Amino acid sequence: MILFSSWQGEIVDNRGVKRAKKPKAIALPEEFKPGEKIKAFFGWDGIVICDDSVDLIDMALNYAEAMLKESCGKCTPCGQGSRFMRGFLEKLAKGEATKDDLNALRSLANLIKSTSKCSIGQTAPVPILHVLEYFSEEIEKRIASKKPAQPGNYRYAVTAPCKNACPSNLDIPRYVEEIKEVRFEESLATIREMTCLPGTLGRVCVRPCESNCRRALVEGPVSIKWLKRFAADFELEHRKKPQILKVPTSSGKRVAIVGAGPAGLSCAFYLALKGHSVTIFEKSKEPGGMATYGIPDYRLPRGVLTRHEVDIIKDLGVEIRYGVEVGKDVMIMDLHRDYDAVFIGVGAQTSAKMGIEGEDKGYRGFIPGVRYLYDINNGIDPYPEGKRVVVVGGGNVAMDCVRCSFRIGKTDVHLVYRRSRAEMPADPEEIHDAEEEGVVFHFLCNPTRIIEQDGKVVGVELIKMELGEPDQSGRRRPVPVPGSEFILETDILIPAIGQAVDLSFLAGCSDIKLTKWKTIAVNPDTFETSVKGIFAAGDCVTGPDVLVRAAGGGRRAAERIDQYLRGIEPGPTEEELFDRLFSTIKVFNKNEKVEVPDGMKRKELQKLDPETRKWTFEEVEKGYTPPEAIYEAQRCLRCYRIGMIAY
Amino acid sequence: MPAMITVTIDGREIRTEPGKTILEVARANGIHIPTLCFLEGLLPIGACRLCIVEIDGYDQPQPSCMQVVEDGMNIRTDTNNLRQMRRDILKLLLLEHPLDCPICDKAGECQLQDLVYELGYDTKIVEGTAGVPMLHKPPVEWSTIGIKYFPSRCVVCQRCVHVCLEKVGRGVLEVGKNGSTPCIVPAHPERCISCGECLAVCPVGALTENVSPLKARPWEKTKTRTVCPYCGVGCVVELNVASDQVIKVTTDDTVPPNYGTLCVKGRFGFEFINSDKRLQKPLLRQGDSFKEVSWDEALNYVAKKLKDIKDQHGASAIAGLCSARCTNEDNYIFQKFMRAVIGTNNVDHCARLCHASTVAGLATTLGSGAMTNSLEDIEDADVVLVFGSNTTENHPVFGMKLRKLARMKGTKIVVVDPRRIDLVDDAVMHLPLRAGTDIALVNAMLNVIIREGLYNKKFVEEHTEGFEELAKLVEAYPPEKAEEITGVPKEDIIAVARAYAQAERASIVYCMGITQHTKGTDNVKSLSNLALVCGHIGKPGTGVNPLRGQNNVQGACDMGGLPTFYPGYQRVDSEDVRRKFEKLWNAKLPAEPGLTVVEMGHAALEGKVKALYIMGENPLLTDPDLHHLEEALKKLELVVVQDIFFTDTCNFAHVILPSCSFAEKDGTFTNTERRVQRVRRALKPKGEAKDDWKIIAELSERLGYPMFYKNAEEIFEEIRKATPQYAGITYRRLEKVGIQWPCPTEDHPGTPILHVGKIARGKGLLVPIEYRPPKEQPDREYPFILVTGRSYYQYHTGTMSRKCKVLNYGAPEPVLEIHPMDAHVLGIASEDTVRVTSRRGSIELKARLSERVKRGEVFSTFHFNEARVNLLTGSELDPVAKIPEFKVTAVRIEKVEKGE
């Protein structure tokens, strides 16, 4: 039960009240980890107290100490003032403070809050001021009694809205600040602490961080993705050696990894950095998995991932065996026998079925989206005679399919989506670019039947849809309009409505349990499958998902595998537990009034002109120049904030 | 032009361009906002928070240095609330700031003092803080040889951090913690180049100069603006003088060429001026030693000897070396003396050893042998090819600029150099060619550019001649062939060729790596071919830009310190020109060109030259094949050395005459970008030392040709008459900013860029040039190639730089850079003494294992007389420019066993 909350200015005071009210602004979990109750929470938007045994003055002192530790020292109010603030609170905690001290503390906290450069200084005084404001009577009593405070147990962590939203948990404010300070190499090193695919993610990430960017509440989010790309490109362009932590001496442990996609590569990289010997088994001839075969070159030029980033991983001693298919050339249980641990990082490589007539007939011209992209990325036009294309779906794969079509010389390109534009899951930028390139969109339509002649696709029957009540995903459910069928002529029909995991590699291994969604079941805290020593992450666990989550999963799994190999019980770190806590509390408040005047518009990337680019696989977007990157980085508000629990 | 916007600041409506910060707009309109961390030319730091202002619609104050103006913004910069906040912020800095102002170097110039004075220090502040527990700052200090940090005085404004990052491109400093107190820490001391930029921007006494033992209050100092005496960049410096001693060097942020930047030599290389080793009296040889004599005795002796030799052997038995270190006025008088009084064109100087090939090469192809563009306009370049120039070490301030542009602007730098020099870190590409194979590389680039049609057809048609012949020749240089010759992968050659040709603006910067070859002149012409074919000339950010090595090497050439030219590159073998000078100088002048530096040595050995007059040069370290030169000097009847120190060359002198250092002189220097700048006297001459020109003038009088100049300016007035390029320049016009020649009239602004609209020669000459290997090739007996050059900390023959503490600390002794693999094969470890032997001689020095050099190549500098590298080099000359091949010498390396 919450005794008191001042979160986001909503005062809920249940002290001495019979019917406790629940605050709307915050949903604080009861426990931090199993068996550890959260007695109080101090954070950027206020204080929440669940247990009256917490000594608020002591907690305020500890919070001030955390602030002092986290203050970077780069501005006067926070860098210098936080020491004095801590000093006052120490006096108060010792029972030596006077009323004058209290006044001085209040005005100092206010000064730091309103004049500091970043959110550490702007938000850390908040819980302290709330204690002074809402518990003034208690404090006055304490001053009068000269009693010292009761020391308690506390934990804290630093987060930021963007960082908390990132599935790979990149320290975004830090790497952005390093770009702002012209420390480009350091910035990339910061990124590499959390992902080994900066150039790839810097191009194709779906950037959940940017939707959690406080600058978005001013004039547009900071281009976190493009800044990442800039840092990666700067190294590549200057042929610099990456600043990577030295590989420690060999642990003597060997790990086998299935699949050289984002999850497998990430897992390999971080395992290698811990001194383990890693071998990746990859059925294709090139690394990258779905990032290579599923993403066209105009968005992610082949060399960025398959040469540069993979070379760095190989330089750490990781071996990649190409052309070896697990489940056929080598069995997963053999790997389990021969290696100290196994990691499965297989992607979602088959297309989901539309469930319409003719889908399984093998008509010429019916090409599943993933297959279509795979061929194109291998330099093959899967159906050269076909010139008219209809793609079904509203996600990024559908976008890739339509945009690739022009680039292999298709003249007539249509996209069919069953909801309206607003519901499309694809990146709005992609939709815009596709539109510019001349793709014809048919919204609120769904295929019902393939029209075929002599075993070849000649068209598709579509039915019009309208939007009904919202479904589980919160989007309005499309409902067919009876009798509205019409025919769209085409040579090629491409379903791109979703992907599925091809689990045939598990042949002969029934011990690995699956979920009802036909993915591999793992313990979310350990990434371990039902077989001890076999771990998994990425799309084969989550189902089709974004690259950044697969990469993040690969890295986290590496940490667990390292624990496992060292004989430690695998489990989440305190930092991860805090991330979960912060996700529940929500670090980003989209209703916040950000006290920053606008004026620094987001710097967009230059793009090739649509008429030029639609016929070539040359990269569409040109990266930032250093002045553009520095400017964009200057827009960052450095929204670090400290969350502390008493337990 | 973007649409103008209107903002209101303190009730005043102001029209301004968008995109500016509030602080910029306020300052431009005379509205004062207090700041401590802000520094013009750096990105806003936003540390001090004193520049906060109030903006309508926002509850919180906003930092004016970072906030951009928006149309309709209503801003207040000075309210009671803001004042109180500013005082409170200042209080946070002052609470623990030691009030040691009486002993602080910065007192009187301290911006913290000024702010306290401005914002007030009311008693309320003191009352309010009575209860604050004072935290003791532990006295963790750090210092370099030239800079000392006092953490307790530091206000953590981070100007030092940012200037090091943004201007110098080093990133040595970071904000750290001293306990819980923020402070500045040298996080990457290995990157520090002791340039002292951090020191220069510190607003308080936290970073102080650690060199001069003598200190002075601001009002006790005089500042004299003059020009740095080291490299050819020609930075403007202010000598801070107290008690007739230079105690510090500062500069001026607002003037070219350095805009407030200095390197280690400029900032800390001034101790030689006050050195007690300075020559103070004339010396006359007596057997194996020298005796101090009066000026009269010395000058009479020299005059008599010169007259005797001339009478006996003719004027051509006398030769003179003028100096790239002396002023234009000194050099002008020297060459006039040689020509008009002695009657010979035997006058040359060490420009012969550095850029003679430039003067010859560019004069042929473009019609002017100087840097085509300005140092500043490199900012407009998109691509810069750096050929054989270790820019960050030899022209540090320009090197910093390149670094800065690479990082801050994204300028693409390509380094073409056998060694992996520091600039490679900031380059997009490094072409580590084999020493002396430049022509093959450039021809291959031309091959790609012409074959792929990337050249500037319009420019080639309108402004060049000889394209067909050049195109035909380079057909024989496909990148594959160049790869074989140069060792550079052909993909890289192709990539660089495309990048250069396709750039909107591309510049070529080059130095000794191009010129100091027996094919030096051809190398220069090759680069000129490249620029002309692509039309990268006559515009900002383009050109063919030789970096001149010494402070006044450009000027010494301009002044006619060359055996073939009168001042202004007017040929001595031209009848008309000679008549003009005969009239101007009222003397009969010799018609035949004189001897060059190396030829003088040969002639002396052959007995054709009997006397050598050396003004401010030290050939016993700079010239090639020194054994040969020593023999030559020994044969001479008269060697006169005029210098500020007793150099190695003095050992061979008969008379030594003490002259003034740059700090004691009035006159002008001309820097590498043809900028004529004023040199001003800051100190009294040391002892009996005299101005170089004055010594020559007094000698001239004794030889029956009185020279009546009251001061340097009078000489300059004559220079203007003699040198068309200088005609419009006057001392008055040089008062604040130097002027770039050609400047034909007094209302002409000078010429930052040559060949605008039209190549000076008329049409640029494209010269087909075949590649030929350097004269010396490694063989079984001499398997290594020795490359010579300079280091960042030392300068030239060390005469000045080795008298300075900071510089000696940076580079205390000669070393041989050798690749670790080669060293391993030879059983050599770092710090081992090695013997380097060429066909001409042998030296011993310490080995330094370094991957900067390639396998098979070694590198050393020529600064040190304990290991004279030029004992090894050969005197094979470029047939046109007569420059020796310093860059390629075949040598053998052996480890010297202890006790040997």
Q: What are the pLDDT digits (tens) for B525-577? A: 999 999 999 999 999 999 999 999 899 999 999 999 999 999 999 999 999 99
A459 forms bridges with which residues in the sheet? A451, A489
Helices (H) and strands (E) in chain A, counts: 25, 25
State mean pLDDT over B56-73: 94
Q: Where are the alpha helices (DSSP H) in B1-79?
A: 22-28
Q: For B262-286, what is the HEC assignment?
A: CCHHHHHCCHHHHCCCCCCCCEEEE
Which pLDDT score is estimated for A220? 94
Can you tell me the mean pLDDT for A393-414?
A: 93
pLDDT at position B122 = 60
Judge: A182–B425 Cβ closer than 8 Å, yes or no: no
Q: For residue B2, what pLDDT is reported?
A: 66
pLDDT class of A356 with cuts at 50, 70, 90: confident
What is the model's pLDDT at position A245?
A: 64
pTM of the model: 0.93
Q: B67 at the A interface (CB within 8 A)?
A: yes
Show residues of chain B in contact with A626, CB under 8 Å.
407-410
Give residue B127's pLDDT. 45
Band of residue B1 on the pLDDT scale cut at 50, 70, 90: low
Check whether B898 has a pLDDT greater than 60: yes
Do residues B257 and B235 make contact, with C-beta atoms less than 8 angstroms apart?
yes
Spatial neighbors of B763 by CB under 8 A, at least 6 apart, are B463, B464, B465
Contact B49 A181 (CB under 8 A): no
Look at B48 and B99; give whichever has higher pLDDT. Answer: B48
Nearest CA in chain A to B169: A182
β-bridge partners, A501: none
Q: What is the pLDDT of residue B535?
A: 96
pLDDT at B212: 82
Percent of chain A past pLDDT 70, that is, above it, reads 100
What pLDDT does A412 receive?
93
Residue B292 structure tokens: 């101090």
Q: Mean pLDDT throughout B797-813?
A: 90
Nearest residue to A299 (alpha-carbon basis) of A241, A225, A238, A240: A225
- Nearest-Cα distance to chain B for A437, in Å, is 28
B684 pLDDT more than 90: yes
| CA distance to partner chain A, nearest, from residue B155 (Å) | 8
Q: Chain A within 8 Å of B768 (Cβ-Cβ)? A: no
Residues 6+ apart with CB under 8 A from B765: B364, B365, B366, B464, B465, B466
Between B226 and B878, the more confident residue is B226
Q: Output B99 or B467, whichever has higher pLDDT.
A: B467
Give residue A222's pLDDT band: very low, low, confident or very high (50, 70, 90): very high
Tens of pLDDT, residues A84-143: 999 999 999 999 888 888 998 999 999 999 999 999 999 999 999 999 999 999 999 989
Contact B436, B517 (CB under 8 A): yes
Nearest-Cα distance to chain A for B192, in Å, is 16
- Kindly report, residue by residue over A584-619, the tens digit of the pLDDT: 999 999 999 999 998 899 999 999 999 889 888 889
Q: Rounded to whole angstroms, how far apart are CA atoms A561 and A539?
A: 18
Averaged pLDDT of chain B:
92
- Render pLDDT for A549-574 as a digit per residue (tens, 0 to 9): 999 999 999 999 999 999 998 889 99
Q: Within a 10 A sphere around the Cβ of B224, how many other Cβ atoms?
A: 16
Q: What share of chain B is helix, strand, coil (3-state, %, to 5)?
A: 35, 20, 45
pLDDT tens string A498-507: 888 988 888 7
Q: What is the pLDDT of residue B769?
A: 95
For the cut 80, the answer to whether the pLDDT of residue A244 exceeds it is: no
Cβ <8 Å between B428 and A237: yes
CA-CA-CA-CA torsion for B110, B112, B116, B118, nearest 10 degrees?
70
Contact call for residues B194 and B808 (beta carbons, < 8 A): no
Q: What is the DSSP string of A64-128?
A: HHHHHHH--S-SHHHHHHHHHHHHHHHHHHHT---HHHHHHHHHHHHHHHHH-SSHHHHHTHHHH
Q: Is A18 buried (19+), middle (13-18) or exposed (0-12) by CB count in 10 A?
A: exposed
Q: Tell me if chain B has a CB within 8 Å of the CB of A542.
A: no
Q: Does A592 touch chain B (CB under 8 A)?
A: no
Instruction: Pull the structure tokens for residue A69.
Output: 């530790």
pLDDT of residue A378: 86
| pLDDT for residue B140 | 53
Chain B contact for A293 (CB, 8 A cutoff): no
Interface of A with B in 177-216 (CB under 8 A): 180-184
Residues in chain B within 8 Å Cβ distance of A627: 408-410
B177, B181, B408: residue with CB nearest A626: B408
- Report the pLDDT value the prediction gives residue B126, as an integer from 0 to 100: 43
- In chain B, the percentage of residues whose pLDDT exceeds 90 is 81
Of B93, B171, B408, the CB nearest to A80: B93
Q: Cα–chain-centroid distance for residue B778?
A: 32
Average confidence score pLDDT of chain A: 92
Residue length of chain B: 900
Task: Phi first, then psi: give them for residue B366, nearest 5 degrees.
Answer: -115, -20
Supply the DSSP string of A202-265, one letter for each residue: HHH---HHHHT-GGGGTTS---HHHHHHHHHHHHHHTTPPP--PPPPSP-S-EEEEE--SHHHH
Band of pLDDT at residue A638, cut at 50, 70 and 90: very high
Q: List, for residues B229-274, the tens digit of each pLDDT value.
A: 999 999 999 999 999 999 999 999 999 999 999 999 999 999 999 9
Q: Which amino acid is at B134?
A: M
Residues A219, A613: contact at Cβ < 8 Å? no
Determine the Cα–Cα distance for residues B10 and B26; give it in Å rounded to an integer.
Answer: 10
Return contacts of A398-401, CB within 8 angstroms, 24+ apart.
A398/A369, A398/A426, A398/A496, A398/A497, A399/A426, A399/A427, A399/A430, A399/A431, A399/A434, A400/A294, A400/A295, A400/A296, A400/A299, A400/A369, A400/A373, A401/A369, A401/A372, A401/A373, A401/A494, A401/A496
Answer yes or no: is pLDDT of B11 > 90. yes
A73, A90, A108 member nearest B177 (Cβ) = A73
| Long-range contacts of residues B186-193, Cβ cutoff 8 Å, at least 24 apart | B186/B142, B186/B144, B189/B144, B192/B144, B193/B168, B193/B263, B193/B264, B193/B396, B193/B792
> A122: closest CA among A638, A647, A645, A609?
A638
The answer to whether the CB of B402 falls within 8 A of the CB of B391 is yes
Q: Which of A65, A72, A84 to mutate to test the interface with B (most CBs of B within 10 A)?
A: A84
pLDDT at B626 over 90: no
Task: Report the distance separating Cα B514 and Cα B512, nearest Å.
Answer: 5
Question: How many Å apart are CA B248 and CA B254, to the nearest integer?
Answer: 19
> Given an 8 Å threshold on Cβ–Cβ distance, is B156 in contact with A111?
no
Q: Are B153 and B99 in contact (CB under 8 A)?
A: no
What is the rounded distance in angstroms from the CA atom of residue A451 to the CA atom of residue A488? 9
A606 interfacial to chain B (CB closer than 8 Å): no
Backbone angles phi, psi at B820, to 5 degrees: -55, -35
- Establish how many alpha carbons lie within 13 A of residue B259's alpha carbon, considering only the half-sphere containing its beta carbon: 10
What whole-number percentage of chain A has pLDDT above 90? Answer: 77
Residue B80 has pLDDT above 50, yes or no: yes
The pLDDT assigned to B775 comes to: 82
Establish, for the pair of chains A and B, how many residue pairs have beta carbons separated by less than 8 Å. 143
Residue entry with tokens 């400047």: B743
More confident position, B122 or B470: B470
Per residue in B186-220, pLDDT (tens digit) is 999 999 999 999 999 999 999 988 888 788 888 88
Summarised one tens digit per residue, pLDDT across range B508-520 is 999 999 998 889 9
Angstrom distance (rounded) from CA B676 to CA B690: 23
| Cβ(A636)–Cβ(A222) below 8 Å | yes
Residue B130, pLDDT > 50, answer: no
A-chain residues near B496 (CB < 8 A): none
Of A76, A98, A595, the CB nearest to B49: A76
B92/A91 touch (CB, cutoff 8 Å), yes or no: no
Q: Side-chain half-sphere of B623: how many Cα atoms within 13 Å? A: 27
Quickly count helices (H) and strands (E) in chain B.
29, 38
Residues above pLDDT 70, as percent of chain B: 97
Mean pLDDT within B593-607? 93
Look at B66 and A101 and tell me if their CB atoms are within 8 Å.
no
